[in-house]
Amino acid sequence: MRRAYNVGAVWLVFAALLVLVGGAGLAQHAPPASPADPIAMVAGQPIYERDLSATLAPQMLQLRQQEYETKSRALDELIRSKLLESEAKKRGLSTDQLLEEEVDAKVPEPTDGEVKGYYLAVKNQLNQPFDQVKPQLQKALKALETQQARQDYADSLRAKSEVVVLLRPPKVDVSYDLARVRGDPKAPVTIVEFSDFQCPYCKKAAATLKDLLAKYNGRVKVAYRDFPMRTLHPQAQLAAEAGRCAEDQGKFWEYHDALFAADQSRLDEAGLAETAQKLGLDEKSFRFCLSAGKFKAQIEQDVQDGTKAGVVGTPGFFINGVFVNGAKPLAEFGKIIGAELAAIGSRTATQASR
């Protein structure tokens, strides 16, 4: 599917962000308070900024992500512009002349079928017969195709140029349990996953993570943390406890895989015990562990840590601290992993040259 970027809109958003940040700086007459200073007093009891972290973490992470994405899109446009200027200068042309020769002149006129398809996609907004708006639609579709072709051409120049992007996404420091790590423990890239055994998207993500471990063998490891969505998935809490009980017998990952491979509607005590039996776990010890609620505190700690980090749903991932929300395709994980590996390689090379 062709995409059309509204460059003007991107820059307006970015400019507004800069104005807001600048305005905030101008309005600040006093130095910022130290994190050790209270931000409010209630009946003589202080409230500190850290006390807000549990409730504000998701919103703050989302704002930081939005800021990064806005800057990233604007940076991509600026890089394209610089590459076009450089290429035009090498050829002794203006940027407009370069684009006209290399792009605009090569974009074909849209076919009647393409125009008709475009009309069907937007006809509810037009409320006019096709024949009346056909010329305008042809012009609009040609403009969209030209805009996309210009972007593709600039991106092709980027692929042949040395472009180093130093703008980095926001990161969150998230700990994990060494006992529940899959992959090489020394792998430089760590994916910390907050998951729920009754979540269908987590089931989908489990397969993606296996593919990632195979593709980046020795370079990526996965650490599992519990985040049962209790209000949505009534059996998730007990399943999380069952996973811990299986870990107690040294078979967490086997149990993890079995639960995601099984029917997610059968995560009651009987179903969980049946899975344990199939894996050869000591059934008596398993059932006692489950009925005693042995690991409720650890699961609650995972939930609290995930909430403080900004997780609001499952699955949630932190790839070397870079947040990814939801069951994304392998390629999206790969982009972040590739960037992390490249950054690690760059740092290693720099240190070696000193």
Q: What is the DSSP string of 59-81?
A: HHHHHHHHHHHHHHHHHHHHHHH
CATH fit for domain 178-353, picks 3.40.30.10, 3.40.50.300, 3.40.190.10, 3.40.50.1100: 3.40.30.10
What ranges do the domains of the chain cover? 7-24+57-159, 178-353
Distance CA 298, CA 247 (A): 13
pTM for this prediction: 0.72
pLDDT of residue 17: 41
* Reported confidence tier of residue 22, pLDDT bands at 50, 70, 90: very low
Closest CA to 204 of 317, 319, 328: 328
* Cβ count near 306 (within 10 Å): 23
Pairing of strands 322-325, 316-319: antiparallel
pLDDT of residue 10: 39
DSSP track, 174-199: ----GGGEEE-TT-SEEEEEEE-TT-
- Quick: pLDDT tens for 288-344: 999 999 999 999 999 999 999 999 999 999 999 999 999 999 999 999 999 999 888
pLDDT of residue 92: 96
Distance CA 27, CA 127 (A): 49
Structure tokens at 342: 């490249």
| N-term to C-term CA, the chain | 47
CA 122 to the chain's CA centroid: 31
Q: What is the mean pLDDT of residues 44-66?
A: 84
